Amino acid sequence: MKTTDTPPADTTGERPPVTKTAPAPAPQEKATGRTLNVFSHGFLILWAFMVAMPLLWAVMTSFKTDKEIFSSPWSLPDSLHFDNWSRAWTSANMSDYFLNTIIVVGFSLLGTMLLGSMAAYVLARFEFPGNRFIYFLFIGGMSFPIILALVPLFYVMQNLSLLNTLPGLILVYIGYSLPFTVFFMTSFFRTLPTSVAEAAFVDGASHTRTFFQVMLPMAKPGLISITIFNFLGQWNQYLLPTVLNTEPENKVLTQGLVQLAVSQGYKGDWSGLFAGLVMAMLPVLAAYIVFQRQVVQGLTAGALK
């Protein structure tokens, strides 16, 4: 009589762990993913080339003479003509325009971020009658074309004696930038935890102290992101200062570039014009290169939280 050995029964009632292995991707899925990666990387490379080449060409052209610009526009300059930059800075009054732009953009950014963040914090954290109405009023300001408000805005500034003045232009820039700032910062403040603010209230902090010392530092990524966007929009603004600021001593950089282009008559100082263009472009590029990581963090913070 033949006997077979059987494994002893498991008296504990526990089943041995079962290890599951993920199924290997099909060859068709691998090929599709590889094709998408090649397409996306190729598109990004093409986009980077389309963006970087005009900037590099403008910088290269700013060191050429007018003859080299027309005879060999795509070649490197024979020598670096720094006199183009000095001529654009002095003879075209670019130094005055640059200083006026720094004053206007600096104070308007400060006012926009202060008022916008305060309004956004109240709309995001407090419930009161008319909360949604005020919020959608700011949203409506984003969709209102600024060109439709130029004529009434001109007369309002004239009646307030703020026409052709830098303080008047600063106030207009603040009003122009507030809708998007409030919209962006309201969404950002809603993502911040309320427990930190409640703990500050328990410790006896006022609403003002809680906002400036607790909530505002927590919103730093969003503040940096919206500051960069406002800086780009206000630095490159041309329509508003053209209509509201016509005094030569109060003109900003964009008006100075246009004046540099048309003041030469039939002569055409193209090398000086490109030098002035690069001068106006460098602060924007420097701001974005320095704060590009904070901009990305601010844009993705709401989705990650």
Q: Is residue 20 part of a domain?
A: no
Tokens of 121: 């914090």
Tokens of 34: 């590889």
Which domain range does residue 161 map to? 83-293
Q: Is 76 left (phi over 0), alpha (psi -120 to 50) or beta?
A: beta
Q: Is residue 54 part of a domain?
A: no
> Are 125 and 197 contacting, i.e. CB atoms less than 8 angstroms apart?
yes
> Are 222 and 100 contacting, i.e. CB atoms less than 8 angstroms apart?
no
- pLDDT per residue as tens digits for the range 207-258: 888 899 889 888 888 888 899 889 988 998 989 999 998 888 888 988 888 8
- pTM, two decimal places: 0.78
The mean-pLDDT minimum among 19-33, 45-59, 208-222 falls in 19-33
- pLDDT per residue as tens digits for the range 72-127: 888 888 888 888 888 888 766 788 888 999 999 999 999 999 999 999 999 998 88
CA–CA distance, 60 with 64 (Å, rounded to integer)? 7
CATH assignment of the domain containing 198: 1.10.3720.10
Q: Is residue 51 part of a domain?
A: no
Q: Is residue 3 part of a domain?
A: no
| Domains contained in the chain, number | 1
Count of CB atoms within 10 A of residue 275's CB? 28
Q: Is residue 136 part of a domain?
A: yes
Q: What is the C-alpha end-to-end distance of the chain, expressed in Å? A: 72
Best CA proximity match to 109, nearest among 284, 240, 208, 228: 228
Could you tell me the sign of the dihedral formed by the alpha carbons of 252, 258, 264, 269, in that order? positive
